């Protein structure tokens, strides 16, 4: 099922900086997100599930902040957690994740 219009709540949340992370689980999802939300995606960090998804994100002008290893949902969560811990020197609590698949 293809979505034709962006969700107004997501548009608002991106504009307000309320979404910290966007988890992208496929190239098709990456293309849909860029089609729906465009440059607004730059307001959040992007986590990619795999090298192929990362390549699609790069090609679309939205390189991922981190990539899962292994390419699983658990790997995606670990990648975000490790990035957050390394960026601050300590694991931060909270944050908002937009997961699209």
Q: Are 24 and 47 in contact (CB under 8 A)?
A: yes
pLDDT in tens, the chain (101 residues): 678 899 999 999 999 999 999 999 999 999 999 999 999 999 999 999 999 999 999 999 999 999 999 999 999 999 998 887 776 555 444 444 555 54
Q: Which two tokens stand for residue 42?
A: 């730059």
Domains of the chain: 8-89 (3.40.50.10090)
Count other C-beta atoms under 10 Å from residue 8's C-beta. Answer: 8
Count other C-beta atoms under 10 Å from residue 25's C-beta. Answer: 19
């Amino acid at each position: 099922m293809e979505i034709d219009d962006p969700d107004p709540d997501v548009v608002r949340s991106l504009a307000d900086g309320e979404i910290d992370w966007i988890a992208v689980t496929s190239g098709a999802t990456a293309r849909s997100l860029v089609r729906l939300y465009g440059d607004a995606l730059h307001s959040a960090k992007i986590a990619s599930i795999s090298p192929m998804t990362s390549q699609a994100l790069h090609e679309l002008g939205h390189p991922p902040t981190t990539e899962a290893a292994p390419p699983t949902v658990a790997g995606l969560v670990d990648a975000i957690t490790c990035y957050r811990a390394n960026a601050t020197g300590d694991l931060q609590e909270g944050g908002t994740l937009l997961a699209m698949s």
